[in-house]
Structure 1
Amino acid sequence: MDYLLTLAADPAIWAALGALIAMEVVLGIDNLIFISILTNKLPEAQRSRGRKIGIGLALILRLGLLSTVAIIVQLTEPIVTLFGKAFSWRDIILIAGGLFLVWKATAEIHHKVDVDHGPDVFDGGKAVAVTFGGVIMQILLLDLVFSIDSIITAVGMTDHIPVMVIAVLVAVLTMLLAADPLAHFIEKNPTIVMLALGFLLMIGATLIGEGFGVHVPKGYIYAAMAFSAGIEALNMLSRRATRKNKR
């Protein structure tokens, strides 16, 4: 208790907490876009439950990883060297997660472009029915990647576990509150789906780059996403104005 009171009385801790919450919320956007797109493929009655379970899994993973911070930190230590480049477990996980995200976004774009292919998930040239369990499994895989990246980022910003826990709880609560509105917005605006899939492709490529040691400042990534979203918002306003003029 004395430890927590000491932290609460330190202005530097509050500043670190604010910065970490902001960082965790921003990192959670990637996770939330992926969850929204996947759960929108489920029957309407299952979508909200799927989003809640997906975000709940993200919370469990993040808090679980926080309890093993010492191990998480060691994930950044090189374990293998290939072609003169050292790779850690974090690098391998980011590369695998990035490849999965690129594959998934590409498959979803294929469905949006090829209207005759049908509404099912594309997998190796065969149509596979979307199932609740399958969607949750895909969310779990990406939750793991984003959670490890999130916790490693948190460890780099503060040494205090309570600060990390509070930041994670606030970020996940924000994701939970934003999940349904974001998913509904994406569903009602089909062009937003393609934009979001483009974001996922960019995020996947960034994860792969990070895994190979190519650091891309996240500020650039989110600035590009914000610019693209702004252009799409103008397109939506233009289409709405055109529809009103035709009436």
Structure 2
Amino acid sequence: MELLTNPDAWIALLTLTFLEIILGIDNIVFLSIVSGKLKEEDQPKARRIGLLLAMAFRIVLLFGITWVLGLQQTLFSIDLGIFSAHVTGQSLIIFGGGLFLLYKSVSEIHHKMEGEEDSEKGKAGNTLSAAIIQIALLNLVFSFDSILTAIGLISMKSPAEGGFGYDGALAIMILAIIISVIIMMIFAGPVSKFVNEHPTIQILGLSFLILIGVMLLAEGSHLAHFRFGNDVEVGTIPKGYLYFSIFFSLFVEFLNLRMKKSKNPVKLHNSTIVDKDLEDTNVTN
């Protein structure tokens, strides 16, 4: 009840909800591309399961804050003179997630341009269960990144010290996660349809995932205190720069799409765009 009458709590809730939605954009892009390879009737199910998994992972991690923070402890150290590191559990998860995201993004771009998924092997891999496994793996990494950001934003100090207390901060973070996931569920369908209907948006989305993968690699290296020599330590890439480049690129592409509406888009392999001429030819045959 104290939180309901506390304007600072409402501001924190709105701020964190907005931040969760922004951080969830890369999740929606990945969901759109992975679900776009499934049968049309399976695509909404994959998106719902993916977003529910994202919400579940975040809430579970919030209840295990002590365990999450415990992952900051050094697991092992490396000292080779010219290179040193103090590897933690968090750094391993985030660094591994960055590698997975880079691999998945580059392979998706290759498949869409070269068309290897049209083979029997590619078709066999385009199942709902395979998509959910990929979504779950990436959600785990995105959840860690999201929760670490939330913990840094919401103060767990007691109300007397200007914070919201442990229970209050936990309630704000859980509510922000639930609201943000509900909002993303509402817009996931239209966003996925738009992404899969425009090849340039698909390639841009995959390029953004490469950027995010590089950011995760830098963040994982920073958490592991990667140091070269005595003075050079790997730093993080500010998320503001990354998301500014993403929104600016999308803005330019929206202008291009508006100016060239009358032109037919390039057909990517495994695209959900139906080639009308090809469809008519098949019907005639």
Task: Assess same fold via TM > 0.5.
Answer: yes
Q: How many residues get paired?
A: 235
Alpha-carbon offset, residue 79 of structure 1: 2.1
Alpha-carbon offset, residue 51 of structure 1: 0.6
> Match of 2:37, SS?
coil
Alpha-carbon offset, residue 78 of structure 1: 2.5
Q: Distance in 1 between matches of 2:123 and 2:251?
A: 35
The counterpart of 2:23, out of the listed 23, 27, 34, is 27
The counterpart of 1:186, out of the listed 192, 195, 211, is 195
The counterpart of 1:68, out of the listed 57, 64, 83, is 64
Q: Which has the higher helix share?
A: 1
> Match of 1:140, SS?
helix
Structure 2 residue identity aligned to 1:111: H
Alpha-carbon offset, residue 77 of structure 1: 2.7
The question of whether the paired residues in 2 share the 8 Å contact of 1:76 and 1:89 is answered with yes
Q: Distance in 1 between matches of 2:36 and 2:126?
A: 11
Residue 118 of structure 2 is matched in structure 1 by 119
Residue 88 of structure 2 is matched in structure 1 by 88
- Alignment partner of 1:10 is 2:1: no
Q: Distance in 1 between matches of 2:236 and 2:173?
A: 23
Q: Distance in 1 between matches of 2:188 and 2:142?
A: 16
How large is the Cα RMSD of the aligned pairs? Answer: 1.8
Structure 2 residue identity aligned to 1:99: L
Alpha-carbon offset, residue 127 of structure 1: 7.4
> What aligned pairs does 1:107-186 form with structure 2 within 5 A after superposition?
107-115=107-115, 117-119=116-118, 129-158=125-154, 159=156, 160-186=169-195
5+ residue gaps, structure 2, are 157-168, 223-234, 265-285
Alpha-carbon offset, residue 38 of structure 1: 0.3
Residue 43 of structure 1 is matched in structure 2 by 39
Alpha-carbon offset, residue 119 of structure 1: 3.1
- Per mean C-alpha deviation after superposition, the further-off stretch among 25-34 and 70-79 is 70-79
**Any idea what the Cα deviations from partners look like across 1:173-202, whole Å, max 9, x if unmatched?**
121111111110011111111010101111
- Per mean C-alpha deviation after superposition, the further-off stretch among 12-21 and 180-189 is 12-21
Q: Distance in 1 between matches of 2:27 and 2:119?
A: 22
Alpha-carbon offset, residue 139 of structure 1: 0.2
Alpha-carbon offset, residue 34 of structure 1: 0.7
Alpha-carbon offset, residue 148 of structure 1: 1.2
**Any idea what the Cα deviations from partners look like across 1:60-102, whole Å, max 9, x if unmatched?**
1111111111111222232222342222211110110110010
> Match of 1:240, SS?
coil
5+ residue gaps, structure 1, are none
Q: Distance in 1 between matches of 2:103 and 2:120?
A: 12
**Any idea what the Cα deviations from partners look like across 1:102-122, whole Å, max 9, x if unmatched?**
00000010012214x343698
Q: Distance in 1 between matches of 2:29 and 2:186?
A: 13
The question of whether the paired residues in 2 share the 8 Å contact of 1:121 and 1:130 is answered with no
Alpha-carbon offset, residue 135 of structure 1: 0.6
Q: Distance in 2 between matches of 1:78 and 1:88?
A: 5
% identical aligned pairs = 36
Q: Distance in 2 between matches of 1:21 and 1:118?
A: 37
> Match of 2:90, SS?
helix
Alpha-carbon offset, residue 22 of structure 1: 1.4
Q: Distance in 1 between matches of 2:124 and 2:42?
A: 18
Structure 2 residue identity aligned to 1:204: G
Q: Distance in 1 between matches of 2:197 and 2:62?
A: 37
> Match of 1:86, SS?
strand
Alpha-carbon offset, residue 242 of structure 1: 6.0
The question of whether the paired residues in 2 share the 8 Å contact of 1:120 and 1:127 is answered with yes
Alpha-carbon offset, residue 41 of structure 1: 0.4
The question of whether the paired residues in 2 share the 8 Å contact of 1:109 and 1:197 is answered with yes
